[in-house]
Chain A
């Protein structure tokens, strides 16, 4: 490992170093503002370092067999860090309401980010597993961080148990695949897998890996945990699970099941198609009459990953650009939506009851307008990144001739529209005079600023998406 390699992993080093620093500060009982500022600086420096090393990693930079730093991984690492930064900022005011202990939260937040980054850069089963475990172990604690409330504790334990089971499956699957192929490197596997004689062990191994990944992505039928955990977790943590964690695992999915491995018409392809269709339908149907905003967003995020799978399966046409663009759009929309829920939260409730939002427009017009835009973006309406993302997914599906999935996607977009506009209707219906009562305190300034930034990004890239697309294509090829 030369100095050049070290430069390539500077973003990782910065995050790890910041985690250690925050841990020391906590041990020395420093103030809570200090820990947040150090964390934010860590994320900021890491983001800057990514921009600086982009020119150095063309072509791809392999760091020992474990990590690969190329345009693809750097783009997603950048997204993950940006998302973490936003969520760390949102967490600050949320935590202030509930607890006095900040240090541990931010340490775990940083390690979770580190795990997600390792996932996005992994090129080997070992680093895949390592990243996943760093991420999951941090999340177990984060979900249950406000352990004095039974709800949070329950969610934490549920996530711990189910996630451990899925990890066990994943490990066994990896072992079986290794047994048949003799390699654990992705590049080697992608070359050898199509040539291997089909047998039970290989098939079982592949299915187990898919199950493990499917659990993390909350794909149907491995989705049961998502609404409960989202409901119980602190709002920013739920948003982290929905974006950074899922996004990181999805990058592994696109990296591993690519090219020859997921040949069109093959059994794996059919399996993923069925999962995609089921995920879209289940996610959307379960969200239809949901009265808890966090659960609704959980189901919506399940359905969104069904949409993403359509782009993922479009192996014949453009493949990576739609996935990357939609993930970026999904990050913005989801963090925006959860961010507003965070701002609605108060000491007693997480701002997740739908009717707490009734007539909100007439009390907080800007916040409501931003929420409406985020929801419309999730539904794929124009003037937002959501439409361009949908366009890309549809385009990928049509270009590859996946007509079945494209039609399912269209039907589901209509079903999905219903619950998004149901929330919007509730927010915009004028309440009877004197009936507006607000839950939550005045939204914090940081939170409002963050939502404003996200809304501007959402609309700007929705009207003029060319810059982001050209960045994606420069980094990953068309």
Chain B
């Protein structure tokens, strides 16, 4: 029930924003902010409640669950459920949603109500994706994110917005359609085997199918998730969309939409197709490493600030893919931390870029510089988030990437070693960005105001969160742990080759013998 509320609050707020009296002005902003804050408060309360009794690994699969009939003729139900992992992601969504509303406070001046309607509707889609465990419902929300995001880019974006919006829409929709075909293929395979037509995730897990079918169906899911993540070479929509979206849109895109791809991989692709997924995992690692290096190099080559940040996302999401492909406890914990910290950190970078663009009306690095002296507050925050992006120990991002490397080292030394060089490149592009923006000669004229309290507030919260996660990762890991354990148990249980032959293949060695028992016994505490 509470899950439905979390989903409905932003929806109601979105519809209220459309009211004629809110079409321009503060009403819509406050409504949107109230809606997102309410969602944030609810999820934080749930999170805190979960922290209170975290030590006992609970017997039930989900912390919260709600199910209602929706479309019984096809076996589709309105089935929402959350485990620790979904809870964390929904919290992230509510947090970044509030940040995006605050970031758009002065930037958006036209059709304010419609802007916030789209923003909130995107968030409804994102939250729905994190909560839906009926596969059609999942697809429904997956597609629901696209349309309002398309409008955000199209109507409030920068110069090349039509191209960016259309490209974003078509790329992600193409992936989504192949996922729909796969979802249907899976449901009918399941019906063939059991006689029941169902799109329910718990039902579909463990559907028996032969290797070819599983691989083909998995490709459909991968088409959606790898485009969204994005993995190189499916990333070309990303720099365009991020660069030309309005600040609020960029925050949501980088902070949340990319994460839905990672979430889909962890929640659906691996548990439903454990065999096929572990067969494809080495290729995933190759794509991941390619993404890490390619994103970092491209990032360094950019002259457009937002484009630079966009490419760092490609690099960081490479780490996420690497961890997911490694698929052991340590790596997955790293992935969760990386997802959260990247969401917060990159969201903050885009907010900073947005505030800067509002002031000097350009995103060209060559026209910035020397801002530190005049804008100490902004300069300090640039420094902090640039360091977070390059993976400074003590901050959450470092921890995430480190755990991913540690986990993948056990699977493939080569991949981990090459991926680790990403740290070097990250240092280069982050410091380069910092130098261009804050130091060197001043290349703009005129007075520039420093950050206002409104602009500072979300950024300071972000700073606090990154430090907190960096120093006390336990609460995050603890929350995600049970969900991940269940997932991994599912994967192992439903992998016939491993069960029958008993000789685990390369990718699973450490998973079975080392980390899984430790994780289950609670001995592993997630500290590097």
Chain A interface residues toward B at CB < 8 A: 321, 362, 365, 376, 381-383, 387-388, 390-391, 394-395, 398-399, 406-407, 410, 413-414, 417-418, 421-422, 424-425, 428-430, 464-466, 469-470, 473
Which B60-108 residues sit within 8 Å CB-CB of chain A? 69-74
Interface membership of B134, Cβ < 8 A: no
Beyond the given pairs A321-B73, A414-B174, A417-B173, 12 more chain A to chain B contacts, judged by CB atoms under 8 angstroms and listed by A's residue number, are: A382-B140, A382-B144, A394-B184, A395-B188, A399-B184, A410-B177, A421-B169, A425-B165, A425-B166, A428-B154, A466-B72, A470-B73
The 8 tightest CB contacts between A and B, nearest first, are A398-B184, A414-B174, A410-B177, A382-B143, A469-B73, A382-B144, A382-B140, A399-B188
Provide the bound-state CA to CA distance between A297 and B140, in Å: 26
Distance A395 CA – B70 CA, assembled complex (angstroms): 17
Q: How far is the CA of A475 from the CA of B141 in the complex (A)?
A: 31
Write out the residue numbers on chain B whose beta carbons fall within 8 Å of the beta carbon of A413. Answer: 173, 177
- 1/0 per residue, CB under 8 A from A, across B113-153: the answer is 01000000000000000000000100011011011001100
In the complex, chain B residues whose CB is within 8 Å of the CB of A395? 74, 184, 187-188
Given contact pairs A399-B188, A421-B150, A425-B154, A473 touches B143 in the complex (Cβ within 8 A): no
Which B residues are CB-close (under 8 A) to A425?
A: 154, 162, 165-166
Chain B residues with CB under 8 A of A387: 140, 143
Q: Type the 1/0 row for B242-267, where 1 means its CB is closer than 8 Å to any CB of A.
A: 00000000000000000000000000
What residues on A are CB-neighbors of B111 within 8 Å?
Answer: 362
Complex Cα gap A350–B222 (Å): 45
Shortest C-beta distance, A372 to chain B (Å), equals 9
How many A-B contacts at CB < 8 Å in the complex?
A: 81
Interface residues of A, dominant DSSP: helix
CA distance A410 to B174 in the complex (A): 8
| Contact in complex: A429, B162 (CB < 8 Å) | yes
B155 within 8 A of A: yes
Structural contact, A391 and B180, CB atoms closer than 8 A: yes
How far is it, in angstroms, between the C-alpha of A428 and the C-alpha of B141 when the chains are bound? 23
Cβ A406 vs Cβ B174 within 8 A: no
A172, chain B: closest CB distance, angstroms: 40
Closest to B69 in A: A466
Q: Are A466 and B71 in contact (CB under 8 A)?
A: yes
Residues of chain A contacted by B146 (CB below 8 angstroms): 381
Residues on B lying within 8 angstroms of A by beta carbon are 69-74, 110-111, 114, 136, 140-141, 143-144, 146-147, 150-151, 154-155, 162, 165-166, 169-170, 173-174, 177-178, 180-181, 184-185, 187-188
Among A321, A390, A395, A464, the one with the most B-chain Cβ atoms within 10 Å of its Cβ is: A395
Q: Is the CB of A376 within 8 A of B147?
A: yes
A398 to B199, CA, bound (A): 14
Residues of B with C-beta under 8 A to A429:
154-155, 162
Q: Which residue of A lies closest to B223 (CB)?
A: A410
- Report the bound CA distance from A383 to B110 in whole Å: 26
Report the separation of the CA atoms of residues A201 and B154 in the bound assembly, to the nearest whole angstrom.
57
Tell me, rounded to whole Å, the shortest Cβ–Cβ distance linking B177 to chain A.
Answer: 4
Query: Within the assembled complex, what's the spacing in Å between the Cα atoms of A49 and B467?
Result: 71
Partner of A422, one of B136, B143, B166: B166
Closest to B141 in A: A382
Bound Cα distance from A382 to B174, whole angstroms: 15
CB distance from A306 to the nearest CB of B (A): 15
Nearest-CB residue, chain A, relative to B20: A365
For A466, give its contact among B73, B114, B144, B187 (CB under 8 Å).
Answer: B73
Judge whether A428 and B151 touch: CB under 8 Å.
yes
- In the bound complex, residues from chain A placing their C-beta under 8 Å from that of B169 are 417, 421
CA distance in complex: A390, B169 (Å): 18
A394-B180, A398-B181, A421-B150 given; A430·B155 CB < 8 A: yes
Distance A398 CA – B188 CA, assembled complex (angstroms): 7
Chain A: CB-nearest residue to B189: A398
Beta-carbon contact of A473 and B73 below 8 Å = yes
CA distance A112 to B122 in the complex (A): 45
Residues of A within 8 A of B181 (CB): 394, 398, 406-407, 410
With a CB–CB cut-off of 8 A, which chain B residues contact A469? 71, 73
Complex: chain A residue closest to B156, CB-CB:
A430
Contacting residues, chain A, for B177 (C-beta < 8 A): 410, 413-414
Query: What are 12 residue pairs bridging A and B, where the CB atoms are less than 8 Å apart in the complex?
Result: A376-B147, A383-B144, A391-B180, A398-B181, A410-B180, A413-B173, A414-B173, A417-B170, A418-B166, A425-B162, A425-B166, A470-B73
